[in-house]
């Protein structure tokens, strides 16, 4: 099987390759010319669960439209969205180094929830699954946070950290899906593709 991946994330590409799924990438415009259909700004008062489902579905469906416009072979379009929920608040990617530092200080010594929504659009039908994981950080020193932020690793990641990178040493406890915290829960991804009649096995 071969699918389209509607994501720029190198981690999602690595995970699809790991489970034997071949893919081509569908890229959305970003910056000032960003596609409004894939805007990741939370709506006022929007719960985190609603947010990840809305964004993941929107990306998959917009990817499906792009495939149609370009007259590419019809294949499933897979997308995902990851966010953190902490004290009832949605925490996305940091705006800058100061924001990353502030986020990591808040997460230090506390438990947060990582939500990753996965959506697959194929022939006008969209299926969705959610991965929910609990992660607890040990107490982080100011020096540890400073060095981690200086590495640049937090800047393109929800919650200002990547569990598969240097921040792995911050994680004291994890309940749920390690690959879900990375950004693409492989169990749920496989289940979604099976629902549509596809399998990597």
Q: Give Cα 49 distance to the centre of its chain.
A: 13
pLDDT at 78: 96
Residue appearing with tokens 């800047």: 155
pLDDT at 122: 92
User: How many whole angstroms separate alpha carbon 6 and alpha carbon 110?
Assistant: 32
If you ran DSSP here, which 8-state letter would residue 15 be given? H
The CATH architecture annotation of domain 2-195 reads Alpha-Beta Complex (3.90)
Catalytic residue among 39, 81, 96, 99: 81
- Bridge partners of 25? 5
pLDDT at 25: 94
pLDDT tens column, 131-164: 999 999 999 999 999 999 999 999 989 999 999 9
Residues of the chain with confidence (pLDDT) below 70: 30-34, 200-201
Residue 16 has, within 13 A of its CA and on its CB side, a CA count of 24
pLDDT at 32: 59
Residue 34 has φ and ψ, to the nearest 5°, of -60, 145
Sequence-distant (6+) residues with CB within 8 A of 121 are 60, 61, 63, 64, 76, 77, 79
Q: Are 13 and 24 in contact (CB under 8 A)?
A: no
Judge whether 81 counts as a catalytic residue. Answer: yes
What is the domain partition of the chain in residue ranges?
A: 2-195
pLDDT at 174: 97
Residue appearing with tokens 């071949």: 22
Query: Which of these, 54, 82, 78, 67, lies nearest to 195 by C-alpha position?
Result: 78
């Amino acid at each position: 099987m071969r699918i389209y991946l509607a994501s720029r994330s190198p981690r999602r590409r690595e995970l699809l390759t790991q489970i034997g799924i071949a893919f081509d990438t569908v890229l959305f415009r970003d910056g000032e010319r960003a596609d409004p259909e894939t805007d990741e700004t939370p709506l006022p008062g929007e719960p985190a669960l609603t947010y990840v489902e809305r964004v993941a579905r929107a990306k998959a469906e917009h990817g499906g439209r792009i495939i149609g416009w370009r007259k590419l072979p019809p294949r499933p379009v897979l997308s995902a969205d990851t966010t953190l929920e902490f004290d009832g608040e949605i925490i996305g990617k940091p705006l800058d180094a100061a924001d990353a530092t502030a986020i990591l200080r808040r997460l230090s010594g506390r438990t947060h929830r990582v939500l990753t929504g996965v959506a697959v659009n194929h022939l006008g039908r969209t299926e969705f699954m959610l991965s929910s994981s609990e992660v607890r950080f040990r107490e982080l020193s100011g020096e540890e946070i400073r060095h981690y932020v200086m590495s640049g690793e937090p800047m393109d990641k929800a919650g200002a950290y990547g569990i598969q990178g240097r921040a792995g040493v911050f994680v004291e406890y994890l309940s749920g899906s390690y690959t879900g915290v990375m950004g693409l829960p492989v169990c749920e991804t496989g289940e979604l593709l099976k629902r549509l009649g596809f399998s990597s096995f």
